[in-house]
Amino acid sequence: MECWCLHGAVGVAADWREFSKNAAASAIATRAVDLWRFLECAPMPLHDFGKALNAEAGGEVKRGVGRALLGYSMGARMALHALAEPNHPWQAAVIVSGHPGLENESDRSSRRTADAEWGTRAFTASWNDFLRDWNAQPVLGKTMIRDDAAMTRLANRRQEIARSFIDWSLGNQEPLWNRLAGIQIPVLWIAGENDEKFRSIAERAVRLLPKAKLAIAPGTGHRVPWEAPEWFAQQVTHFLKTGDSDFS
């Protein structure tokens, strides 16, 4: 199985480096996708992203017997849009700390306003101050640890990151709750034990998906892949190899 990995907001493809090493030890190839390149030239709404990613994957030569799509947080929302498209090229999916969409227009409007403010700060404020305040959000829990090269790559993408707060805002996302039943491939949905909001979302989403399993990461918050890397890699690789997951 070849697993395409979609990073989160204010993230980089290199965030998947440790997972990729763990997956390789289980004979699973990975491809960490740089999401910012999709916003380099022009805006790209989420539904267009799903089509673009599927077309790109469909045109690539497989490096395994099948393709899986893994997305974290913002990347999970983007993965859901790709999976909701007809005739997509994926045989399995892993959704981590994902959100199918806000259903109340008032909530969506509030989120658009908040994300527009983040976008402005990402583009105009001190980059270090922006990162500090972004990582200080209670929902995110532990701060991501990145090396200097990754931090440089992030700073070089501040224009695309700022644009993502508009194009890929949860407030601008079409709610996908009613389309989950149409995703017929096996899905492993992961949430952190201490991430109450996203754990509740995960529980609801799994009930709507035809072939889904829920895995709750013990003692973790929103950033499961980096708070519990060994647990995460074990769950994902086992699922991708067998279509099942050992939740013990």
Whole-number average pLDDT of the chain: 93
pLDDT of residue 245: 44
pLDDT digits (tens, 9 = 90+) for 74-116: 999 999 999 999 999 999 999 999 999 999 999 999 999 999 9
| 165 has pLDDT over 70 | yes
Q: Is residue 17 packed enough to be buried (19+ CB in 10 Å), middle (13-18) or exposed (0-12)?
A: middle
pLDDT of residue 145: 80
Instruction: Give domain 2-242's CATH number out of 3.40.50.620, 3.40.50.970, 3.40.50.300, 3.40.50.1820.
Output: 3.40.50.1820
pLDDT of residue 31: 95
pLDDT digits (tens, 9 = 90+) for 25-72: 999 999 999 999 999 988 899 989 999 999 999 877 666 578 999 999
pLDDT of residue 246: 41
What does pTM read for this prediction? 0.95
| 203 has pLDDT over 70 | yes
pLDDT of residue 64: 59
pLDDT of residue 244: 60
| 195 has pLDDT over 70 | yes
Per-residue DSSP letters for the chain? -EEEEE--TT--GGGGHHHHHHHHHTT-EEEEE-GGGGGSSS---HHHHHHHHHHHHHTSPPSSSSEEEEEETHHHHHHHHHHTSTT-S-SEEEEES-------HHHHHHHHHHHHHHHHHHHHS-HHHHHHHHHT-GGG-SPPP--HHHHHHHHHTHHHHHHHHHHT-GGGSPP-GGGGGG--S-EEEEEETT-HHHHHHHHHHHHHSTTEEEEEETT--S-HHHHSHHHHHHHHHHHHHHS-----
pLDDT band at 170 (very low <50, low <70, confident <90, very high): very high
What mean pLDDT do residues 215-243 have? 95
pLDDT of residue 7: 98
Please tell me the distance from the alpha carbon of residue 201 to that of residue 224, in angstroms, as a whole number: 15
Alpha carbons within 13 angstroms on the beta-carbon side of residue 198 total 29
Query: What tokens does 162 get?
Result: 């700022």
Please tell me the distance from the alpha carbon of residue 149 to that of residue 55, in angstroms, as a whole number: 30
Sketch the domain layout of the chain as residue ranges. Answer: 2-242
pLDDT of residue 39: 97
| Nearest of 125, 126, 122, 128 to residue 148 by alpha carbon | 128
Query: In this predicted structure, which of 106-110, 144-148, 169-173 has the lowest mean pLDDT?
Result: 144-148
| 207 has pLDDT over 80 | yes
> How would you list the strands of the sheet with 29-33, edge to edge?
29-33, 2-6, 67-72, 92-96, 187-192, 212-217
pLDDT band at 247 (very low <50, low <70, confident <90, very high): very low
Task: Please tell me which residue, 246 or 222, carries the higher pLDDT value.
Answer: 222
